[in-house]
Amino acid sequence: MSEVVAEFVRAVEPTLNPTRQREPGRKADFPGLAGNWAYLDTAATAQKPQIVIDAIAQAYGADYATVHRGVYERSATMTMRFEEARETVARFIGAASPAEVVFVRGATEGINLVAQSWGQRLAAGDRVLLSALEHHSNIVPWQLLRDRVGIEIDVAPLTDDGRIDEAALEAMLTPRTKLVSIAHVSNVLGGIVDVARIARAAHGVGALLLVDGCQAAPRLRLDMAAMGADFYVFSGHKLYGPTGVGVLWGRADLLESMPPWQGGGAMIETVSFEASTYAPPPQRFEAGTPAIAEVIGLAAAIDYVESIGIEAIHAHESALVSAARAALGRINSVTLFGPEESAGILSFAIEGVHPHDIGTILDESGVAIRAGHHCAQPLMALLGVPATARASFAIYNDLDDVARLAAGIERVTRIFGTETK
């Protein structure tokens, strides 16, 4: 470690000790971090604590049975655990009722569900308002709907520091705007949007608000009533849970008014060759055998996060991002993107070095980051770069990881002939 990095770490160490020492978030809880691996790619997918792995193994092992179908004891017990997981999710996000919680494969499927079900009420000339920093999963479903029915898509700009320009977004709303769909936290820049403000503005013109909460759910306190959103989606695997499961929350009256988007078992009341009738939400939107073990694993992940405290997690990650910004900001050729205050995410570039080369060199030192367009190609075009390097932090990261990142970046600059400040 260079003296520049060592000096920086000594200076900021006291500010991180209170959260760094929280026992439930220790690295030993995460078997995927064995081998002194500095994992800084949580925005892509989080490592899993052993308690989640054990819950999934138990669900697939001694406890395994189908749900919502069997009359035998184990099936009834598994059904109870499955529905208890729905209650856990509802409590975690401040939903009015577990019936507002729809299990999906992930946020991508949740957005597609809304676009294909609720979106059936849209017609040519109706408008959907997005922002310039959206993930592809919050762009492409609306383009597909546009191509089918002729809706129009508007795009709200960003502020100079990479946040959604909320004032500009409000000015773009018209009576033809039927839906605003935005990210709560940018997966590239880490900026946090004022959901309640956007909800009030959208409702003021009669529009609904859908929020992509993938990066928010692992680190921000969620309260559906307080935020005022109409739909909210997130993925389990970014919340220290398994892949293949996510959540669509929707207001009860909206879900009740929406037609099913897939047909099959579990989502029906009666079926004949002449006609079928459908179950009430959330079952109406959960056709087929669900991801049983994954749902139970998601509930275990939420329990784990709540045992640490969501506010403590956010404070810890924000402090680590601030430390990383300060450390990398000392290097001449490094450009930092996004706001000074961000939620666990830092994107950057090094002059004359492709992000893939940055990622490869860091990997040689046991530091894992993301390099690419992060499924946000329109944002990359706005930033004027083909890709960025991204470090994203979690409850299992600490100042040692920040120091290793900074030391690795210094090594990159030496290899490519740049200097530190």
Report the distance separating Cα 21 and Cα 59, nearest Å. 32
Catalytic residue, chosen from 33, 375, 382, 385, is: 375
Query: Is the alpha carbon torsion for 159, 325, 21, 8 positive or negative?
Result: negative
Q: Identify whether 214 is a catalytic site residue.
A: no
Query: By C-alpha distance, which of 211, 188, 191, 189 is closest to 199?
Result: 211
Query: By C-alpha distance, which of 389, 25, 343 is closest to 213?
Result: 343
Query: By C-alpha distance, which of 260, 215, 36, 165 is closest to 154?
Result: 165
The answer for residues whose C-beta is within 8 angstroms of residue 81's C-beta and 6 or more apart is: 59, 63, 296
Report the distance separating Cα 262 and Cα 357, nearest Å. 43
Report the distance separating Cα 264 and Cα 284, nearest Å. 10
Report the distance separating Cα 310 and Cα 221, nearest Å. 6
**DSSP sequence for 178-206:** EEEEEESB-TTT--B--HHHHHHHHHHTT
Count of CA atoms in the C-beta half-sphere (13 A) of 299 = 21
Task: State whether residue 16 is helix, strand or coil.
Answer: helix
- Contact criterion met (CB below 8 Å) for 302 and 92: yes
In the DSSP assignment, the letter for residue 259 is P
Report the distance separating Cα 130 and Cα 142, nearest Å. 9
Report the distance separating Cα 340 and Cα 322, nearest Å. 7
Helix (H) / strand (E) element for 337: namely strand 334-337
- Residues with a catalytic annotation lie at 375
